[in-house]
């Protein structure tokens, strides 16, 4: 694929920015694309999420997967067979080591759907090899990795998109536009949450065992500490262990906090304070099942992220969502749609209260509602494929999502240290706090050090 001159920066931003009424992404159609228009991709990580993404990529006629990498041979082979069957072409090359595919001259970009602790290395290596990247959320295992990924994208002039697909949803774009246009006044209070009940057993307790022969377990561990194989720490369940991920805070919190930061146009908070613990679920996890994270932002705004795994009682009928509260009203949103509820006083109430009179009721008008068609993934994939040609930055550019992901790292660091922290979003440090700053990165196993950029 040869990059083509595309939209100007101004035109592109206008087409996908918060004020846009509809996305202007590529049009999907059936049939094969001309050879010169084909996009040749490699899949790194062929598990559950990797195959979900295939469901979004494969219907595009211009997309051709030429390689699949996974340390689990079964995953790689089953996925390669699926691609060959669905596309009707050659079976992609399979491999355990993703670096092999980066040597291919016919590879345009990679799609990374590995566990979180394996996001940074292939992203950086792909950029260094001149390949563009679509990497799943959360962007990185820690703050330092995220910054290195941003640096690699910029140094090697690569398109790096991240799978926080809600930014491509018309639902979320319209909601953010309404907030920025002042429809609910000055936003000063935001609540994000996700609740479910998996207590008391969760994933259960499993003994250590031998790794399956079809898995390169040492490579699966990669930069993480060496530990015996345990089925409860493997594949989908990796996300509940700090060695590999950040628990529900980074797994779902990044989606919610991403929209909050977008709406208030902030890179990060000034303070963070987390409480919580493993209080309800008696299984192997080491990430909390209950959390309350309070962030303070410039401009007098507070964001609270709440998570519980021991009780699924929804908030206002919703098991997850975002509630923005402004001086003139509120906006609630989840992936099904959003609603704007006006709310402001008709007049000052102090004098009437002093006189013993009843203040005028708040001014209210009919709530505005919007119903969503999907979570944004189809348009998100279209945007990425378009950017491969135009060389514009994607809707969820690596740097934008780095800031959103940082909020989840900060929440976890505050939890691990058990105290309130002060954050400088410009320097990406905790000023004068060596103990907290040490948790911005991690020790890497020999042979799996973070690539230099």
pLDDT at 26 over 80: no
Give me the pLDDT at residue 359, please: 61
Share of the chain above pLDDT 90, in %: 84
Strands 329-334 and 337-342: antiparallel
Is residue 116 within 8 Å of 141, Cβ to Cβ? Answer: yes
Phi first, then psi: give them for residue 131, nearest 5 degrees: -105, 145
Rounded to whole angstroms, the Cα distance separating 192 from 190 reads 7
Give me the pLDDT at residue 10, please: 29
Phi first, then psi: give them for residue 314, nearest 5 degrees: -75, 160
Give me the pLDDT at residue 316, please: 84
pLDDT digit string (tens) for 261-307?
999 999 999 999 999 999 999 999 999 999 999 999 999 999 999 99
Alpha carbon 372 to its chain centroid, in Å, reads 19
List the Cα angle 298/301/304 in 5-degree steps. 120
pLDDT at 118 over 50: yes
pLDDT at 89 over 60: yes
pLDDT digit string (tens) for 414-447?
999 999 999 999 999 999 999 999 999 999 999 9
pLDDT at 12 over 60: no
Q: Nearest-CA neighbor of 253 among 383, 373, 137?
A: 137
What structural domains does the chain harbor? 9-168+377-397 (3.40.50.720), 170-374+403-440 (3.30.360.10)
Rounded to whole angstroms, the Cα distance separating 430 from 80 reads 45
Which residues is 197 bridged to in the sheet? 310
Q: What is the mean pLDDT of the chain?
A: 91
Name the burial class of residue 426, with classes exposed (0-12), middle (13-18) and buried (19+) by CB atoms within 10 angstroms of its CB. Answer: exposed
Name the burial class of residue 236, with classes exposed (0-12), middle (13-18) and buried (19+) by CB atoms within 10 angstroms of its CB. Answer: exposed
Tokens of 376: 């944004």
Give me the pLDDT at residue 343, please: 84
**pTM for the model:** 0.90
């Amino acid at each position: 694929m040869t990059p083509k001159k595309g939209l100007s920066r101004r035109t592109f931003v206008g087409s996908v920015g918060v004020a846009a009424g509809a996305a202007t992404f590529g049009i999907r159609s059936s049939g094969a694309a001309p050879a010169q228009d084909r996009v040749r991709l490699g899949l790194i990580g062929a598990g559950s999420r990797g195959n979900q993404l295939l469901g979004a990529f494969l219907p595009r006629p211009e997309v051709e997967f030429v390689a699949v990498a996974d340390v689990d041979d079964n995953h790689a082979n089953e996925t390669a067979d699926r691609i060959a069957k669905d596309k009707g072409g050659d079976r992609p090359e399979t491999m355990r080591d993703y670096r092999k595919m980066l040597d291919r001259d016919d590879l345009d970009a990679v799609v990374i759907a590995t566990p979180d602790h394996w996001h940074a290395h292939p992203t950086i290596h792909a950029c260094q090899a001149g390949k563009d990247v679509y990497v799943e959320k959360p962007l990185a295992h820690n703050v330092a990795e995220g910054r290195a990924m941003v640096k690699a994208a910029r140094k090697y002039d690569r398109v790096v998109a991240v799978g926080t697909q809600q930014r491509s949803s018309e639902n979320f774009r319209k909601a953010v536009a309404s907030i920025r246009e002042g429809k609910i006044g000055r936003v000063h209070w935001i609540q994000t949450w996700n609740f479910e009940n998996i207590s008391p057993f969760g994933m259960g307790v499993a003994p250590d065992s031998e790794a399956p022969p079809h898995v390169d377990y040492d490579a699966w561990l990669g930069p993480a500490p060496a530990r015996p194989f345990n089925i409860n720490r493997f594949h989908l369940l990796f996300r509940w262990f700090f060695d590999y991920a950040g628990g529900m805070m980074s797994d779902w919190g990044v989606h919610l906090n991403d929209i909050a930061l977008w709406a208030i146009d902030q890179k990060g908070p000034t303070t963070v304070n987390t409480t919580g613990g493993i209080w309800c679920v008696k299984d192997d996890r080491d990430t909390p099942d209950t959390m309350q994270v309070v962030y303070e932002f410039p401009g007098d705004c507070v964001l609270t992220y709440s998570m519980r795994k021991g009780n699924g009682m929804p908030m206002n009928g919703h098991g997850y969502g975002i509630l923005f509260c402004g001086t003139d009203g509120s906006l609630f949103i989840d992936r099904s749609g959003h609603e704007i509820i006006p709310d402001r006083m008709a007049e000052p109430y102090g004098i009437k209260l002093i006189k013993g009179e009843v203040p005028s009721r708040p001014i209210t008008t009919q709530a505005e509602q919007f119903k969503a068609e999907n979570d944004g993934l189809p348009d998100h994939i279209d945007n990425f494929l378009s950017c491969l040609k135009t060389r514009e930055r994607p809707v969820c550019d690596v740097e934008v999502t780095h800031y959103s992901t940082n909020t989840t790292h900060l929440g976890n660091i505050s939890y691990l240290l058990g105290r309130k922290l002060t954050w400088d979003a410009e320097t990406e440090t905790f000023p004068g706090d060596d103990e907290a700053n040490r948790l911005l990165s991690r020790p890497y196993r020999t042979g799996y050090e973070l690539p230099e950029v």
